[in-house]
Structure 1
Amino acid sequence: MKKNLIRIALGLLLALVFFGHAAKFYQISLLNTLDAFVYDARLRLTAQGGVDERIVILDIDEKSLAEVGRWPWSRDTMAALVNKLFDSYEITLLGFDVVFAEPDRSSGLASLESMADGVLKNDTAFQSALKALRGELDFDKRFADALSKRPVVLGYYFTNLDQANRNGALPAPVLQPEDFKGRTVDFTSWSGFGGNLPEFQGKAISAGHFNPIVDFDGTSRRVPMLVEHEGKYYESLSLAMVRVLLGNPRIVPGYPEGETSSGPEWLDLPAEQGILRIPVDEYGASLIPYRGLQGSFTYLPAADALTGRLKQEQLKGKIVLLGTTAPGLMDLRVTPVGSTYPGVEIHANLVAGMLDSSIKQKPSYVLGADVLLLSLCTISLAFLLPILSPLRATVLASGILLAVACLNFLLWSSGLVMPLAAVLSAILTLYALNMSWGYFVETRSKRQFAELFGQYVPPELVDEMARDPERYSMDGKNAELTVLFSDVRGFTSISEGLDPKELTQLMNAYLGAMTRVVQKNRGTLDKYIGDAIMAFWGAPVADADHARHAVTTALEMQAELRTLDEPFKQRGWPALHIGIGINSGTMTVGDMGSKVRKSYTVMGDAVNLGSRLEGITKQYGVGIIVSDSTKALVKDVIYRELDRVRVKGKDEPVGIFEPLGVAGQIDKAAQDELKLWNQALRLYRQQDWDQAELQLYNLSRMCPDRYLYQVYAKRIAYCRANPPGESWDGVTTFETK
C-alpha cells in the first residue's frame, strides 16, 4: 500500500476537483461543454421522430413573401388570413410567433389623418369623405376584430437591452409574488419588452412571450415558462397556447414534499381532463422536447392558406402556429437537432411536449445525487485502481463507466435529466492517471524482465511476470516441470549437402518455426544445441498444465514441420524429420553458469531422461516419445504404448508412449490399429510369440510403413532363438545415449 500512497493522494485530489464542479463551487467550462454535448447526443438518439399531426406550422416562407409581399403584411391581409383560418379551415387554435408592435401604414389612413389634422383641417368635404372611409381604411381595427372572441394567442418578447424599451402592451400577468407563498424564486427577469398594440392585445384571448434561453454555446435547449417583469410573472407562448386549449386554467406552482424554501419544480394546470404537470427548473424554464430534426411538424405556406389553395382537411381541427422559416426574417436558431432551426418549431415542440407530458425534468435533488454518485465513484477508484493490475483496473473502470451510463440512460428514459460529463470525466481521468503512472513503472519492470527472461519466454509471459515481479527471480529452485528435447534426424548428411549460406537459411527457417510453436504454448526456450531444441514448461511462470502444453507443442511441431516441406522443396532443400522426447518430474531450475556467461536452464535426472527419450525415438520409428510420468498428467490424449525401457544412467524402467492426438480427434482406422497393437503388445509380454507375431503380421499389412511393427517382429525372432525365461519383465535396456 505504501508504494501506492502517491497515486491514491493524486486520485483523491482529482476527485476533489471534480467534486467542486459538481457541487457548483466553481464551473469547469470543458465539463459544461461535454455535458451539453452528451445531452444533445442523447436527445438526438432518443428523439421520438415522426410528424405530429395535431400541430401545423403556417410558414411565412420565401414563396409566401414572393406572392403576398414583403413582411410585415398589411393588417387587412392578416385579418383576412385569420378569418380564413377560423371560418373556412375551422382550426382549433392560432398562435403567433410574430409581434404586431406598430400601427399599419399600408392603407394610407395615417397620411390622411395627418392631413385632416393639418392643412385640410377646415375642409368640410375632406373631413366628411375621410369619416366615410375611415372604417374601410382602418386595417388595424379589421385585424383586431378578426382576433376578437377567437382562440388566438399573440406573441411578444422581453428584452434587457434598453430599460426604456417598452413598446406596445403586455397581457395580464399570470402569477403574482403571493402565488409563490413566500418562497424564493429565481426566474429570468426582464426590464423591457416589445408587445403588441394595445387594441390587438385587448382583443386577443391570450398572449405569451417567445424568448428562448440561449446557453453558453449559443444553443437553445430551454424556454422559460415563466419570467419576471416588475415583480409580476408572465407565461411563454407555448404555455399560453396550452392553457387556451385547456380552457385557461390557472397556473399552480408545484413543490417537492417537505421543501419549503426553493422555487417550484413544476407547474400544474388543473383542467377538466385532469391536472397537466409541466416540469420546470429553478429558473422557471422547461427543457425543449425536440421530436427530431426540422420538419417534425407539417409546414404549409401561409400564402396557400390566404388564397384558399389548401384543402380543409389539412387544417381542420389543428393547432396552428404562424411563424417564418425565411432566412431574411432572422428567426432561425441553433438547437441540439439543427444549426438553422426555425424558432416557430421550438414552440410547436413545447406545445406537443406539454400535451404529451414528455418534457424531461431536472429536479433540485439532481445536484445532490450527482455529487454523491461522483464521490462514490471517484473515492473508490482512487483507492482501488492503484492496487489492481492493469487488466483488473480496466475491467473495474469500464464496469463503473458502463453502470453509470446505464443508470443515466434509465433515468433519462424515465424523464429525468442528470449530468453525466463530470462523473464520466472523473472516472476516465482517474483511470488515465493510474495507467500513465503504472505505465512508466511497469515499463521499467518489463524492460528488466525482458533483459532477464525475454530470450527464454514469449513476450506475453514477460508481460504477465512484470505485473507481479516479486513472484519471479532467477534464483535456483526445485519444481515439478516438463522438459522437451527435439533433434533433426540425419542432420550430418543434410549439412554436408548444403553450402554454409543455405544451411544457415534452412536452420533459421526451421528453428524459427519450431520456436514459435514453443512460445505459442507458453514454453520457455532453454537453448539451441546445434540443430537440437531444448524447452521446458512450468518456470519461470507457474503452469499447472505444463505437461499438456509440452505434449501439445510436440504434436504441433510435427505438424508445423510438414508445412515446411513444400517451401524447402522449392528451394532444393531436403525435407526434415525430427525426434522429440518429453519427460515430467522434479527438476532444478534457475540462472546457472559462470561470471562470463549464465543461462536460465533446468537440470536433474528428469531432464536427462527427456534427452534419452528423444534419442531412442529413431529406435521405434516414431516422431514423439513421452514418459509415463508425462502421460499420467495428460489424460485426454490418445497414446500408443511403445515399450518399457531402461535407459543409460537409470536403473528403474520407464514406460514410453507415442501421443497420437487428442481424444475424439482420432479416426476409426487409427483406433482399430491401436486396438490390435495393444493386443499384440500384451501377447508379446506374455511370451505368446505365435499369436503376437500373427497380430504383428496383420498390423504390418494394415500399415506396411510402420517401423515399430518390424522392430517387434525382429524381437520375437530373437526371443524364439534366445528364450528370455520366466523371470523376463519385458523391459528393453539401452546401453547407449
Structure 2
Amino acid sequence: MATRLRRFPLSPLALVLLLAVAGLIALAMRLAEPDYGLPWLYAFRGQKSAPPEALVVGLDKAGVDWLAFSADRLETEAPGLAACLPASVRRELARASNVEDLPRGLLGCLFQALGALDPTTVVIDIHFYGTTDAVNDSLLEQGLRHLHRPILLEKVQAASLGGAAVRERPAARFRAVSQPGFFVVEWRDGDTFRYVASQPDFPGLRSFPSLAAEAEGVPLLLPGTAEPHFRLLNFYGPSGTVETVSFLDILTGHYTRSLAGRVVFVGASHPKGIARRDDFETAWSSSGGGDLAGVELAATGFLNLLHGEALYRLPGAGDWAAAMAVGLAMLALAVAITGFWGAVAALLVAAVYVVAAGAAFASDALWLPIAAVLYAFAPLSLLAAIGLGYRQTSAVLYRLLPRRIAVALVHDHSRTRSDALVTDATVMVVDLVSSTALAEGMSETEYNQKMTQFFNLLNRSVEAHGGMVLKYTGDGIMAVFEARRRSANHAEQALDSAVAIARALDSAAQTGPALHVRMGINSGRIAVGEIGADTRSSIDAMGDAVNVAARLEQMAKQDSDANRTVILVADATIRLTDQWLERSIPVGKRTIRGRQGEVWVFQLEWRPASPS
C-alpha cells in the first residue's frame, strides 16, 4: 500500500459524534439482525441435510381433497382405513374441505397406523376444532393409546405475555393417555428465528422440542435450573428439508418404513389447507414461497436440541460490542488512510469479519452480528474514505493551483485538456534579485524558510488585490488579475498589488535581510490552460501579453541596480487606469526581443509605507 497513514484528520468533537453515531447504528442494526444479517449467514453456510431422528407427517390439502372425494369408496381405495372408520365418520369426512374439517376419528386412525411403525413418540401439533361426539372421541382415544406417551397441544393464548389462559383439550379422557405441551413462535413483523421455550405463567407446561428431546433420552436441564424464555432455531434449509410425508401415505399404508428411534411431528404442512395460517417466514423464505409450517419449526427445534445445534449469540451486550469494534475499525482505517486505499482497507476488514462470522456460524452455530457491518458501517466507511480523500486531494490541488482553476478542474467534467480559459487580464511577472547570493550566505534550512516567507508575502498581496498566483518560477511568480466583478479594474488591481509587494519587502528589510524584486506588468488577451505531455502537465498562461510582461521583468533587471525594487509597466496597462498615469515615469519606447514593433514602457513610482 503506497499511501502512508496520515495524521488522524478528525477533531475531538467529530470523533465523539462519530462514536455516538456508530453506537446508535450498532444498536439499531442489532434489532434488524434477524432480517438482514441472518439470511447472509445461512447463504454462506448453505442448506444442509436435517438429521433423521425427526419425521413430519403433514396434513396437506391434497390429502384432504382425496379423502373427501373417495369417502364413499374407501373399501376399494383404502381397505385398511375403511375398516378403521365407521360410516358416520366417513360421511363427515366427505364434507371436509380443509385440514381443520378432518374428523377426530380419522386422526385416531392415523395415530393407530403410526403406532404400528413404532416411533419413539408422536408430537401432535393440532388444534381440535368442531363439536365433540362419542364416536370420534373414542377413535381418537384408541389411536392415542397406540402411541408411547404422545404429546398433545395445549392451546395457549398470548403465550409470551402475562395473564394468558389455557384452553382444555377436547375431552378429559385424553389426559390419561397423553402429556401436554405447547409450541409458540415469537410473533414479529419479519423472519422467524426463535420460539418460546418456557412461560412464567405456566411453569409446568413444556415446549414440544424439549419434551421430544427428553423422549429421545436427552437430559436438557440440570436439577435446580430452568429453561430459557426463548430458544433460537437453526434452520437446515427451506420448507421440506426435514423429511416430510403426507398423512395420506400413512393412512393408506403406502409408507411402511419403521419409525423406531424417531420422533414424529403431526401437523398442517400445507398453509393453504387451513383456515388459520400456520406458516412462518424464515431466512430461507423467498418471494416465491418457502415459508416453514409450524410443525416443521417444532421438528427443527427438537433436532437442534438433540444434536446441540441450536443457535446462540454472544451474551449480554456482546453483539453490540462486536459490531461496534468491527465498525469502528473500518471507520478508523477509512478516516486515517482515506481515498481508494482507505476504502479498500475498510472493506477488507468487513470481508474478513463476515467470512469469520460465516465460518463460526457453519461450524459452531455462533450467530455473530453482520447486518451493521454490511448495511451501515461498510457504506459509511466508503463515504468517509472517499469524502476525506476528495477533501485532501482538493486541499493539495488548491495549494498547487489557484483556487478558481482548481475548482474548475475538479468540478467541470465537460472540460477537456485542450480547453483553455481565454480572458482579458493583467499579467504580473515577479523575480527576486540576487537570490543566488542570498542562498550562498544561508544554510539550506534557513534559505528554505526565507523563501517560504517571501512567497507567502507575494501570495497574500496578490490575492488581497483580486489576483491569483498562477505559477512559481524558481525565485519568482507569475500572477494574473482578471476583472471578475463589473466594477473591478484588473490593471488597477495589478498595480496596487505591485506597490503593496514593494512596500511589504521594504518593511521586512527593517528586521531581516533586504529583499528586492523586479516586476514586469502588461495587459491584454491571454489564455490559461494546461501545457505539457499527455501523462503530465501543468497550468500556464499563454499569449502576447504574457510574453511582454516576462520581457519587461528581464528588462528591469538590466536597467537597474540590485538595491531597490523596480516595476516596469507596459502602456497597455497604463491606458486602463487614470490614477497611475501621473504616478509613473515614461521610460520610452522599447523593442521587445523576438517581437515586432515597439512598446511604450513606464516605471511605476512608489514610496515606502509610512511608519505607524
TM-score normalised per structure 1: 0.46
Asked if structure 1 preserves the Cα contact closer than 8 Å seen for 2:401 and 2:470, the reply is no
| 1:209 and 2:182 correspond | yes
Q: Distance in 1 between matches of 2:385 and 2:36?
A: 26
Residue 346 of structure 2 corresponds to 397
1:218 matched to 2:218: no
Aligned to 2:169: 196
- Output one character per residue of 1:143-172: Cα deviation in whole Å (capped at 9) or x when no partner: 2243247231112232139xxxxxxxxxxx
Pairing 1:631-670 to 2, within 5 Å after superposition: none
SS at the partner of 1:82?
Answer: helix
Q: 1:61·1:324 contact (CA, 8 Å) conserved in 2? A: yes
Map of 1:156 onto structure 2 = 154
Which residue of 2 is the match for residue 602 of structure 1?
Answer: none
Q: 1:312-711 residue pairs with structure 2 within 5 A?
A: 312-313=256-257, 315=259, 318-326=262-270, 327-329=272-274, 330-338=277-285, 339=289, 340-365=291-316, 367-368=317-318, 370-371=320-321, 374-375=324-325, 377-378=327-328, 385-413=334-362, 414-424=364-374, 425-436=376-387, 438-439=389-390, 442=393, 446=397, 451=405, 474-477=471-474, 596-597=545-546
> Deviation digits for residues 580-627 of structure 1, max 9, x if unmatched?
xxxxxxxxxx9698893379xxxxxxxxxxxxxxxxxxxxxxxxxxxx
Question: Structure 1 residues 303 and 2, CA, compared in 2 at 3 Å: closer, same or farther?
Answer: closer
Cα distance in 1, alignment partners of residues 344 and 204 from structure 2: 52
Q: 1:692-718 CA deviation, whole Å, 9 max, x = no partner? A: xxxxxxxxxxxxxxxxxxxxxxxxxxx
Q: Distance in 1 between matches of 2:105 and 2:144?
A: 12
Q: 1:246 to 1:302 in 2, by over 3 A?
A: same
For residue 211 of structure 1, what is the amino acid of its counterpart?
A: V
Question: CA shift at 1:360, angstroms?
Answer: 1.3
1:77 aligns with 2:106: yes
1:256-267 → structure 2 map (5 Å cutoff):
none
Aligned equivalent of 2:9: 4
SS of residue matched to 1:151: coil
TM-score, with normalisation over the residues of structure 2? 0.55
Match of residue 531 from structure 1: none
Separation in 1 of the partners of 2:114 and 2:39? 36
- CA displacement 1:383-442 (0-9 Å, x = unmatched): 654443412312321232223323322332322112222344235324414533553664
* Contact in 2 for aligned 1:526/1:536 (Cα 8 Å): no
Greater CA deviation, 76-85 or 432-441?
432-441
C-alpha distance 401-384 of structure 1, shift in aligned 2 (>3 A): closer
Q: Which one is further off, 313-322 or 78-87?
A: 313-322
In structure 2, the residue matched to 1:290 is 235
Stretch of structure 1 that moved more, 205-214 or 32-41 = 32-41
User: Residue in 1 aligned with 2:78?
Assistant: none
Return the alpha-carbon distance in structure 2 between the equivalents of residues 66 and 435 of structure 1. 62
CA displacement 1:509-556 (0-9 Å, x = unmatched):
xxxxxxxxxxxxxxxx966xxxxxxx599997xxxxxxxxxxxxxxxx
Provide the residue aligned with 2:119 in structure 1: 91
Corresponding residue SS for 2:16? helix
Q: 1:426, 1:90 → 2: CA distance?
A: 54
Measure how far apart 1:291 and its partner are: 0.9
Question: Per-residue deviation at 1:211?
Answer: 0.8
Within the candidate set 285, 289, 299, 2:244 is matched to 299
Corresponding letter in the other structure for 2:214: R
Instruction: Give the SS at the match of 1:335.
Output: coil
Change (3 A) 1:403 1:195: farther
Cα separation, 2, equivalents of 1:317 and 1:431: 54
Distance 1:251 1:403, change over 3 A: same
Q: How far apart are the structure 1 equivalents of 2:223 and 2:13? A: 46
Is the Cα–Cα contact under 8 Å of residues 385 and 434 in structure 1 kept in the other structure? Answer: yes
* Structure-1 separation of matches of 2:233 and 2:340: 42
Q: Which structure has the larger Rg?
A: 1
Give the conservation status (yes or no) of the 8 Å contact 2:162–2:201: yes
Distance of aligned partners of 1:537 and 1:103 in 2 relative to their CA distance in 1, 3 Å threshold: closer
Deviation at 1:285, TM superposition (A): 1.4
- How much does 1:475 deviate? 2.5
**3-state SS in 1 of match to 2:23:** helix
**How far, CA to CA, are the matches of 1:203 and 1:297 in structure 2?**
30
SS of residue in 2 equivalent to 1:303: helix
Q: How does 1:49-68 map to 2 (within 5 A)?
A: 49-50=48-49, 52-68=51-67
CA gap 1:297/1:406 in 2 versus in 1, 3 angstroms? closer
Distance 1:398 1:77, change over 3 A: closer
Contact in 1 for aligned 2:150/2:179 (Cα 8 Å)? yes
Q: CA deviation at 1:44?
A: 3.8
Task: Provide the C-alpha distance between the structure 1 equivalents of 2:547 and 2:392, rounded to a whole number of angstroms.
Answer: 27
Per-residue CA deviations over 1:303-358 (Å, capped at 9, x if unaligned) read 232232x1422656542211113313122222221253221111121122222221
1:167-212 per-residue CA deviation (whole Å, 9 max, x = no partner) reads: xxxxxxxxxxxxxxxxxxxx76451223423525522443321210
- Change in Cα spacing, 1:436 to 1:157, as seen in structure 2 (3 Å) is farther
Instruction: Measure the CA separation in 2 of the matches of 1:234 and 1:350.
Output: 16
CA distance in 2, matches of 1:435, 1:209: 54
Aligned-partner SS, 1:59:
strand
Shift of 1:293: 1.2
* Structure 2 SS opposite 1:297: coil
Between the aligned partners of 1:373 and 1:324, the Cα distance in structure 2 is: 39
Which residue of 224, 247, 252 corresponds with 2:222? 252
Q: Distance in 1 between matches of 2:396 and 2:196?
A: 59
Deviations 1:199-241 (A, max 9, x none): 25522443321210123x33221111222215x2532112211
Aligned AA (1:63) = A
Q: Gapped runs of 5+ residues in structure 1?
A: 110-136, 162-186, 256-263, 268-279, 460-469, 479-524, 528-534, 541-589, 600-737
SS at match of 1:286: strand
Q: Which of 236, 239, 242 is the aligned partner of 2:213? A: 242
SS in 2 for 1:229: coil
SS at match of 1:213: coil
Q: 2:128 aligns with which of 83, 95, 100?
A: 100
Contact 2:339 2:388 in 1 (8 A): no
Amino acid at match of 2:125: D
Letter of the 2:152 counterpart: L
**How far does the alpha carbon of each residue in 1:83-128 deviate from its partner, in whole angstroms, 9 at most, with x for none?**
22112x23332111113366523xxx5xxxxxxxxxxxxxxxxxxx
1:465 corresponds to which residue? none
Compute the displacement of 1:80 (Å): 2.1
Letter of the 1:348 counterpart: A
Using the alignment, how far apart are the partners of 1:598 and 1:235 within structure 2?
A: 96
Match of residue 13 from structure 1: 17
Could you say which residue in structure 2 is the equivalent of 1:688? none
